[in-house]
Amino acid sequence: MYESVCCASHAADDKYGELYQTRPHDIVGRHVRLEPLQADRHARELFHLTSGEPRNDHKSYDPQEVWSFQEAGPFESELEMRSSFVFMRKLDEAAFGIVHSVTDRLIGALYLTHDDPTNLAIQLEPPIVPPEGEGKQEQLEACFLLMDRLFAYGYRRIQISIDSQDAVKRKLAARLGFTLEGVLYRHMVVKDSSRDSNVYGMLNSDWKAGARAALFQKLYGAAAQRFDSSNEKKEEEYDEQQRVLAQQKQAEAKKVA
């Protein structure tokens, strides 16, 4: 995926070469890249993106479409947003700005919460995007990039908790391949209203057994998925070869000793 973007042309090679030098921790996909969310870098753009104001070729909309199921918002000002959960992160949370690969514009934000490294579990929050971004490839890829990275790091479980009345985000969980595990009744109080939460889960075994391949194909096509599967198999074979060689070296070292 990275090569398909950064090697598309000389200009793209220069752009992503510089990004790699200056922002090595960004997670790069074909449609979007994920940057650590920072108030000084992203607050102004995220505020205008989710305020309902008309911008570029997009019409105005009711900001409640973005914020009605969130713990705060809509916001009256950029300063108010900076002081909210959007940018005030807890120790067990992380936040990312979703940046469009072609335009380099911020198109949303994505959060990880309830990180539990002891049990290798974490919660993925549905992305905050304007209405025209709901269900688009960019939104799906942003989630895919984080999920793929988390499972590669060794996480066993990723959870999504969604307000039972939020039909849009419920569809997103299904499109990502999550399984509905149950409903927590009167789970939270959000904006003085009682919230029931639909809890969805994805296990590392599900991801490896086919959920990753299905989402990869949905995002990039069948040909890219076949190539990716072939590449994964080669990497597994290489890892196994390295493991066997390491064992042989250890055995030889013991004989010499």
Burial readout 209-236 (b: 16 or more C-beta within 10 A, e: otherwise) = eebbbebbbbbbeeeebeebeeeeeeee
Determine how β-strand 121-128 pairs with β-strand 157-163: parallel
Q: What amino acid is encoded at 85 in this protein? A: F
**1/29 Cα distance (integer angstroms):** 6
**Domain annotation for the chain: domains and CATH numbers:** 1-30 (no CATH), 31-46+88-250 (3.40.630.30)
The pLDDT assigned to 215 comes to 96
- What crossing angle do the helices spanning 137-152 and 167-175 adopt, rounded to 10°? 60
- What would the mean pLDDT of 234-241 be, rounded to a whole number? 83
The predicted model scores a pTM of 0.89
pLDDT at 1: 66
Question: With contact defined as beta carbons under 8 Å apart, do 87 and 37 qualify?
Answer: yes
Residue 252: per-residue pLDDT: 85
- Judge contact between 47 and 36, C-beta under 8 A: no
Q: Is the pLDDT of residue 120 over 90?
A: yes
pLDDT tens per residue, range 23-39: 999 999 999 999 999 99
Closest CA to 162 of 145, 140, 181: 181
Q: Is 37 left (phi over 0), alpha (psi -120 to 50) or beta?
A: beta
Do 82 and 43 touch, CB atoms closer than 8 A?
yes
Could you give the CA distance from residue 31 to residue 220 in angstroms, rounded to a whole number? 10
- Closest by CA to 232, choosing from 224, 220, 242, is 224
133 secondary structure, DSSP code: G
Question: What's the CA gap between 84 and 39, in Å, rounded?
Answer: 11
User: CA 145 → CA 26, 121, 224, 254, distances in Å?
Assistant: 11, 17, 16, 43
The predicted-structure confidence for 123-167, as pLDDT tens digits, reads as follows 999 999 999 999 999 999 999 999 999 999 999 999 999 999 999
What are 201's two structure tokens?
A: 């889960």
Residue 194 has pLDDT above 90, yes or no: yes
Residue 238 has pLDDT above 70, yes or no: yes
